[in-house]
Amino acid sequence: MQKYAWLTELEKFGVGFVGAGWIVNTHHVKAWRGVRNADIMAICDIDEKRAKNTAALCRELNVGNPKVYTDVSRMAADPQVNAIWVTVPNYARIPVVKAITEEVTQGKSELVGLVCEKPLGRNAKEARQMLEMVEKAKLLHGYLENQVFMPSLVKGKGLLWKKGATAAGRPYLVRCSEEHGGPHEAWFWDASRQGGGALNDMLCHSIEAARFLLTAPDEAKEALTPRTVSAEIATLKWARPEYVEQLIKMTKGSVDYSKKPAEDTGRASIVYETKDGSLVVSELTTSWSFVASERVTIEMLGPEYYMQIDTLNPEMKVFFSREIKESGGEEMIEKQAAEQGFMPVVPDETHAYGYLEEDRHMVESFLNGKMPRETWKDGALVVELIMTCYMAAEKGKRLSFPPEGLKDFVPKVAQGTWSPRDIAKPASK
């Protein structure tokens, strides 16, 4: 793309973050230590103190000396900011992207690209609106799905397709799961603000990881066509009275699952058709009711080969006896729930979970004037598949993709009309 050829001459590519929450401070800023030719030049958040804290972390890690903004339009107009990472909560993304793209279309900003954290929207309509805005502004766009950049997953795909699929045929089944004990911030638990529960929050990872693995290295993503979707959702832990009360306390009264619950468990199956007419399957599960810690498991099966990834089987484990007593933390692994016993340790979660390679890839793509390999088109498709999962769960049946009514569908969970006991009802006719 000749329009952006000048970027290769920049000494430093300038990136701004809008939204200074957990994902930025825990992973993206730390990942930037492995990103070359780019600095974090600006941090924007409606909470100025939070933005200043993130800016201080950037300086501490020597990944930039960012300006602090509370107005995203002003940050977008900053000539030192060439691209923006959108990391605000799900419910705030439409107005934020609208403000940014308006600056571009009005000639007040010279941004090259936008990057957005998963999911792209709370429903299919929002996701398509996001895509339309960035395309109208003629910006490069990247979708932040970290799991498809996990070094173990990328290496595994390369090995199995090169050695296994070449000799025995393409893989036919991928199983992906992500589970932990629940989100860090209150808005995640609120289905109306987040867009759903665990399914919307985390199955997006598994959907795209499975699609990535099932697609051959030399194939376009369109080589896999989604044909059918089936799913179930439930609230197994957080609907119990004692945990309803715990969640009320955790969220300072803003979330009450006795009145408006969201699912803490979900499972889905997506059937894809390949270009040669073969059918391949992704089996997906997710949970906010896995107490041990964060766990990502991925399996890939072919005629004569197999791959397994389990983040709770790392290279390092430690043991602390009952005599070692300390307060809670997450020094060993994300969502750590214990301080005693024999425990796994992931030494560098930012790298292991793909954030470093993800951010590096986005910067290098923008510097070269190219679309990243994960774009907002991918993000929109993932949201459509998630919404079809909710629709299938509500109907209790397998659905063809795309189902009728998908464009304007909003899950009952997000509307506040869903009951955890729906899983025990027979399928609707």
Report which of 344, 273, 294, 343 is spatially closest to residue 146, judged by C-alpha positions: 294
Q: Which residues contact 348 (CB under 8 A, 6 or more apart)?
A: none
As a whole number, mean pLDDT of residues 304-310 equals 95
* Residue 375 · residue 142 · CB < 8 Å: yes
Backbone phi, then psi, for 313, in 5-degree steps?
Answer: -120, 65
Predicted pLDDT at 184: 87
Q: For a pLDDT cut of 90, what percent of the chain falls above it? A: 86
CATH of 148-351+383-424, one of 3.40.50.2000, 3.30.70.890, 3.30.70.20, 3.30.360.10: 3.30.360.10
Q: How far apart are CA 330 and CA 262, in angstroms?
A: 25
As a whole number, mean pLDDT of residues 184-208 equals 96
Instruction: In the chain, list all ranges with CATH 3.30.360.10.
Output: 148-351+383-424
Report which of 33, 51, 21, 3 is spatially closest to residue 356, judged by C-alpha positions: 33
* Residue 143 · residue 118 · CB < 8 Å: yes
Q: How far apart are CA 372 and CA 347, in angstroms?
A: 28
CB atoms near residue 328 (< 10 Å): 9
Confidence of residue 13 (pLDDT cuts 50, 70, 90): very high
* Residue 328 · residue 293 · CB < 8 Å: no
Confidence of residue 154 (pLDDT cuts 50, 70, 90): very high
* Residue 137 · residue 97 · CB < 8 Å: no
As a whole number, mean pLDDT of residues 224-245 equals 97
Q: What is the pLDDT of residues 204-232, one digit of tens each?
A: 999 999 999 999 999 999 999 999 999 99
Q: How far apart are CA 92 and CA 120, in angstroms?
A: 11
The count of residues in the chain is: 429
Predicted pLDDT at 381: 98
Tell me what the pLDDT averaged over the chain comes to. Answer: 92
**CATH superfamily of the 2-145+356-374 domain:** NAD(P)-binding Rossmann-like Domain (3.40.50.720)
Instruction: In the chain, list all ranges with CATH 3.40.50.720.
Output: 2-145+356-374
- Judged by average pLDDT, the poorest of 8-17, 297-306, 335-344 is 335-344
Q: What is the pLDDT of residues 321-334, one digit of tens each?
A: 667 666 655 555 55
- Phi/psi region, residue 127 (left: phi>0; alpha: psi -120 to 50; beta: rest), is alpha
Predicted pLDDT at 1: 40
Q: What is the DSSP string of 178-225?
A: EE-S--SSHHHH-HHHHSSSHHHHHHHHHHHHHHHHHS-TTS-GGGSE
CB atoms near residue 357 (< 10 Å): 19
